[in-house]
Amino acid sequence: MLTDLTIAQAAEGLRKKEFSAVELTKAHTDAIDALNGRVNAYITVTSDKALEAAKKADSTLAAGEAPALTGIPLGIKDLFCTNGVRTTAASKIIGNFVPPYESTVTAKLLENGAIFLGKTNLDEFAMGSGNLTSAFGGVENPWHRKDDASVLVPGGSSGGSAAAVAARMAMGATGTDTGGSIRQPAAYCGIVGLKPTYGRCSRWGTIAFASSLDQAGPMTRSVEDASIMLSAMAGADPKDSTCANVAVPDYRAACGRSLKGLRVGIPAEYRAPGMSEEILAVWQKGIDMLREAGCEIVDVSLPHTKYGLATYYIIAPAECSSNLARYDGVRFGERAEGATSLDDLYEKTRHNGFGEEVRRRILMGTYVLSAGYYDAYYLKAQKVRTLIQRDFTQAFQKVDVLLTPTAPTAAFARDEKPEDPVQMYLNDIFTVPASMAGQPAMSVPVELDDKGLPLGLQLIGKHFDEETIIAVGSALEKAAGFTALPDLRAGVSA
């Protein structure tokens, strides 16, 4: 089936005229028609636009010299502003906003020939780990436990993107990752998710959550596909001063590179107390695979790991409270009816427009930034962040890459959602430290647990060294030979 191809295979098939971009796109819009009612991976579907673009892609292909992603249908997380297509951040407060401009990352993908199928679902403003806070309803993970029909979460916040890619409703998708939102849903849905170095991809035109952490990246079904998408998405942007002016290598060339003599660090602190035997076993399996592939395995220590989550949940809400202050009903977003004063307008608009989790984060963030608490919480957290960064710098003097689990568990059921928000925050325990330090990191699916759910391992690299994580990721992928498929996908069932 066309929807089962990887991006690399489809690009080749298009060039060999085995099928057209219109056929490839139609296969995906059909899959969306069949599955989206259940999976809810897309908030907005743009099939007509996609098919129009596919016709153009076929002409470009016929003329030769087509860029790498010509005719490849992708899902776009609904946090990226897309010219003329509604962009919601899964929030009521900006529910009907149609941007008159294109984000830099999506503009680059379009220039590279990609076709957009629609906007994928997410946790509201990208805050969450289970796709449980979207104003447009939850996403169903296309995977289910053996002999158990419970609906599982796809992870978050880029859960719509992850589910769409896993269920064959897109060949690849964009995600954003502030504390794990590309990697954790990738692990839960059995796909590859790459968070590049902070500053590798422009943030311009992407709705902000926590500006010192937010980073866009690809979510795909193979490491090679991630490398193809990243080459198109990355690069300097005069419109984002934090986007680094560092040359973009040909990431695809790093796939399959020899790992002889490469040093892989295993951080002791990631053996969290109470960690499941299964996660420890898959981690050990990954270690053995990389040793077998020629790597030297080195024990390292990242002593401040234990402060990662606490620090993240001060800094991210602080930045979110400031970024989201603009949605006040005056200039941006929806406006509440019937306000009797300016304060009343702010209160009603923000109360009605934001969901519970977003309001919780705004409250926490405002608190830690307020006079009297700023030094005790925010400033202290920034200092600890520096120590976390230093841990990585020191570890990377000894090793080239780190290997850890991506998440402490496999996907959990929607009705097992913890009542305590702090329990939910624990999902990010392994992903947050790399975010705090701005390191590039990738999740690769490795095997199924005994309930039949995918488990992923995380590779963390040096700043701007996505190539090494791609090289190691492709070796891990090859050794793991992860070929299992979700039960809910195009061509199977709806």
Query: Measured between alpha carbons, how far is 320 from 218 in angstroms, rounded to an integer?
Result: 23
Sequence length of the chain is: 494
Among the listed residues 140, 122, 232, the one whose alpha carbon sits nearest the alpha carbon of residue 178:
122
Going along 55-95, which residue ranges are E strands?
73-77
Residue type, 162: A
Q: Per CB under 6 A, does 319 bind ligand GLN?
A: no
| Residue placing its CB nearer to ligand GLN in the complex, 65 or 419 | 419
Q: What is the helix (H) or strand (E) element at residue 457, kind and residue range?
A: strand 454-461
The minimum distance between CB 460 and ligand GLN, in angstroms, equals 15
| 266 within 8 A of 287, measured Cβ to Cβ | yes
> Quick one: which of 113, 118, 128, 142 contacts ligand GLN (CB under 6 A)?
128
Among the listed residues 428, 429, 431, 425, the one whose alpha carbon sits nearest the alpha carbon of residue 460:
431
Q: Per CB under 6 A, does 177 bind ligand GLN?
A: yes
Site stretch for ligand GLN (CB under 6 A), options 124-132, 297-305, 414-422, 441-449: 124-132
Nearest to ligand GLN by Cβ — which residue?
181
Alpha-carbon dihedral 202, 387, 267, 430, rounded to 10 degrees: -50
Q: Per CB under 6 A, does 178 bind ligand GLN?
A: yes
Cis, peptide link before residue 157, omega less than 30° from 0: yes
Q: What is the helix (H) or strand (E) element at residue 183, kind and residue range?
A: helix 183-189
> How distant, in Å, are the alpha carbons of 239, 258, 474 from that of 192?
29, 20, 10
| 444 within 8 A of 476, measured Cβ to Cβ | yes
Q: Which two tokens stand for residue 126?
A: 């990208």
| Residue placing its CB nearer to ligand GLN in the complex, 327 or 425 | 425
> Quick one: which of 126, 171, 282, 471 contacts ligand GLN (CB under 6 A)?
126
Q: Catalytic site residue 181? A: yes
Choosing from 20, 91, 158, 181, which is the catalytic residue?
181
> Quick one: which of 209, 251, 270, 412 contacts ligand GLN (CB under 6 A)?
209
- Kindly write out the interface string for residues 390-429 of this chain, putting x where it contacts ligand GLN by CB under 6 A and - elsewhere: --------------------------------------x-
Choosing from 20, 157, 222, 227, which is the catalytic residue?
157
The minimum distance between CB 276 and ligand GLN, in angstroms, equals 19
**Site for ligand GLN (CB under 6 A): how many residues?**
14
- Kindly write out the interface string for residues 424-463 of this chain, putting x where it contacts ligand GLN by CB under 6 A and - elsewhere: ----x-----------------------------------
CA 14 from chain center: how many Å?
27
Q: Per CB under 6 A, does 180 bind ligand GLN?
A: yes
Q: Catalytic site residue 157? A: yes
- Binding residues for ligand GLN, per CB under 6 A? 126-129, 156-157, 177-181, 209, 316, 428
Question: Which residues does the annotation mark as catalytic?
Answer: 77, 157, 181
